[in-house]
Each structure stands twice: as structure tokens, then as C-alpha cells.
Amino acid sequence: MSDEGPKLYTNKPNKAQVKQAQAKAKDFTVPPSSSSSASHGGSVPPPPPPKESFVRRNKFLWPLLLTVNLAVGGYVYFRTKKDNTSPSSEETETETKTVPPLLVTAEKPHSLAVAAEPVKAREPIPEKEQRELFKWMLDEKRKVKPKDPEEKKRMDEEKAILKQFIRAKTIPNL
């Protein structure tokens, strides 16, 4: 039979026929002098095939998982980088830098003393530059779209004040 090669069936054999063929092949390959099969009173069932690991069973998921992970990481990275460069955060940083730090005195640890730093007088900004600055502020206010009527009203008032400063002959010193 082994000289003929593999058999091609015109009809697929059912499970019972396949099991019979496997049992015959097993009986033929197991040596009759084995002591383990004699002590159990029959043939020993073969050990179950080793189960594949989770990684190997789901190897098609790894590229998808890595792609999603990179996309989320990139989104979070660029989102936080964008938030850190906002002009409002720069304004708050400059405001906090101008406030003098508080010092704790060595004699009284519970009392706080304000450090006496002299306030530096800055040079006044020329009127021409102030007008340019007001014009730029007005342009920026026009670009902002208000979310509700109260904010629209507040924005209109601020724009009106900026227009008054631009049209005025002299700009008041602050």
C-alpha cells in the first residue's frame, strides 16, 4: 500500500473512517513489547499538541496595535506641544515673573516677609508704536468669533475702546 503513494478519494471519508485508519496506523507503529502499554491494559493516548502562545496565535493583531499606539502617542505629543505655546500661558508666565518672591525669615519661621526689590522704571513706548500695537490688537479682536451674546457684547466694547485710542490725537500714559 505504501508503494502506491497518497490515495485520492472521489468522496471525502467520514470521521469514523479517518479514526479507524489512524488507529490502524498507531497499532502498527507502537512496538508490542512496550511495558507501559501492557500495564495500562491498552494503548496510551498521545499527549495533546502544545498550545501556541498568545503572541503567535494573534500575530496579525500586533501591527494594528503598534499603529494605533503610535497614532495616539503622536496625537498626545502634538496636542500638548500646541497647548504649551498659547499666548495666554506666556502672559501668565510674565505676570508670575514680575511678582516678587516671598521669603521666610530665620527668626520667625511662621511669618512671611516680602522681599523688597526695587521696581525698575521702563522707558515709555513711543505713540507711533502704541498706535501700531492698538491696531494689531483690534485686528486680533476681529478674528476672534464669540461663543455667546455676552462675549460678543464684551468684545464689541473692547473694540470700541481700541478704536478710540487709535483715533485720539494723544494717547494717555499708563
Q: Which residues contact 79 (CB under 8 A, 6 or more apart)?
A: none
Whether residue 27 lies inside any domain: the answer is no
CA distance linking residue 166 with residue 135, whole number of Å: 7
pTM score: 0.32
Residue 164 reports pLDDT greater than 60: yes
DSSP state of 112: E
CA distance linking residue 164 with residue 174, whole number of Å: 16
Contacts for 89-96: CB closer than 8 Å, 24+ residues apart? none
More confident residue, 77 or 49: 77
Average pLDDT of every residue of the chain: 75
Residue 15 reports pLDDT greater than 60: yes
Whether residue 116 lies inside any domain: the answer is no
The mean pLDDT of 80-96, rounded to a whole number, is: 57
Closest CA to 144 of 131, 130, 159: 159
Q: What domain range is 151 assigned to?
A: 127-167
Looking at residue 138, its pLDDT comes to 92
Confidence of residue 51 (pLDDT cuts 50, 70, 90): confident
The mean pLDDT of 122-143, rounded to a whole number, is: 89
> How large a percentage of the chain has pLDDT more than 90?
20
Number of domains in the chain: 2
User: CB 162: neighbour CB atoms within 10 A?
Assistant: 19
Looking at residue 92, its pLDDT comes to 52
C-beta of residue 102 within 8 angstroms of C-beta of residue 115: yes
Whether residue 157 lies inside any domain: the answer is yes
C-beta of residue 171 within 8 angstroms of C-beta of residue 127: yes
